[in-house]
Chain A
Amino acid sequence: MSINVYLYIIVMAFATWLMRVAASLIMKKPIKNRFFQSFLYYVPYVTLAVMTFPAIVEATQSPLAGAAALIVCIAAAWFGQGLFTVAVLGCVTVLILELFL
């Protein structure tokens, strides 16, 4: 007994969308509570940091190349390079290092 695959996909997409708009449906104005405001201030940086490491080291064939890409990307972003440049520098680092590793 298998479900129609397109129905399955639509349900998957709809459930995902509900998570995206859940806050939009509830919130009518900014929340004043200082703790909650501070909490939300940190959320994006923490989430993205958690997703980046150690995943970046595990994504490449050689963990060393991933670690080098991490350092190169951090340095490039620290010295003011934009989104695209940082991403490309990371890719190039892996491409070059994996020639040798």
Chain B
Amino acid sequence: MEKGRDVFMQGYRHGIPIGLGYFAVAFSLGIAARDYGFSAIQGFFASLITYASAGQYMGFALYATNTTLAELVLLMFIINARYILMGFALNQRMPEGTPLSTRLLVGSCITDEIFGITIARPGIPTPYYTFGALIAAVPLWALGTALGITMGNVLPARIVSALSVALFGMFIAVIIPPARKDRAVLGAVAVSFALSYASVHLPLVSQLSQGNRTILLTIIISAVFAALFPRKTEDISEGGAADEH
């Protein structure tokens, strides 16, 4: 059995590079938030409790247009719908009888990146790991937002440009090792790159928000690969079984 504290510390360590990437992205989020009339404290608070990049961009922008709360909720549902899929993928790894509290705690930590490292980690998803990562990463996300609001134009553009790549570097580090081991995953990644690029330029699809394009492509590509290259049962449970002996 893994010790909770060790797993928490592992999550914390893995959360640090994520937090550094967040910091850079949050900085540009902060610059936008200031334009929409948010103070540094409001931006900090919003990032601390929401920790959702695309959703917050949308939320800040909407506030400036005097939207209603109902519209806000509806848009958050749509733009963050990918979290539902990620929640399913994590819960799929949890055995029957897992307490609801455990499921809720793991789910509450979902961000694109924390989901990525949690699903890549062998074994059953545990709140110790996800909270370790969350506690490392989210304060940097909130701090970056506040700093972006207060001193948006101080950092040289070159530095912001370089930092903005960190997040994608982490995505790549999550998807490439399994793609190397498994031809079907490699194919799925290649097709995803190609269709994602195409969707930015195609009529109709390109008019969708980035979040909606992401979820649409995710559902279509994953479904096609699931139909063409279904997994053997051992493949799917391998993560869960690996840590139990």
Residues of A in contact with B (beta carbons under 8 Å apart): 1-3, 5-13, 15-25, 27-31, 34-56, 59-62, 65-66, 69-70, 73-74, 76-78, 80-84, 86-95, 98
Interface size on B, residues (CB 8 A): 106
Say if the beta carbon of B180 comes within 8 Å of chain A: yes
| Smallest CB gap from B60: residue in A | A12
Question: Does the CB pair B218–A50 fall under 8 Å?
Answer: yes
| Residues of chain B within 8 A of A91, CB atoms compared | 162-163, 165-166, 169
Contact present for A16 and B157 (CB under 8 Å): no
A89 to B172, CA, bound (A): 12
**Residue in B21, B80, B103, B222 whose beta carbon sits within 8 Å of that of A43 in the complex:** B222
Contact call A48/B171, Cβ cutoff below 8 A: yes
B interface residue numbers (CB < 8 A to A)? 14, 16-18, 20-21, 38, 42, 45-46, 49-50, 52, 55-56, 59, 63, 66, 68-69, 72-73, 76-77, 80-97, 100, 103-104, 106-110, 112, 115-117, 119-120, 157-159, 161-180, 184-185, 188-189, 192-193, 195-197, 200, 210, 213-214, 217-218, 221-223, 225-227, 229-231, 233, 235-236
A29 to B170, CA, bound (A): 30
B103 and A24 contacting across the interface, CB-CB below 8 Å: yes
Asked if A39 and B77 make an inter-chain contact with CB atoms under 8 angstroms apart, the answer reads no
Q: Which residue on A lies nearest to B164, using beta carbons?
A: A59
Q: Which residues of A contact B178 (CB under 8 A)?
A: 45
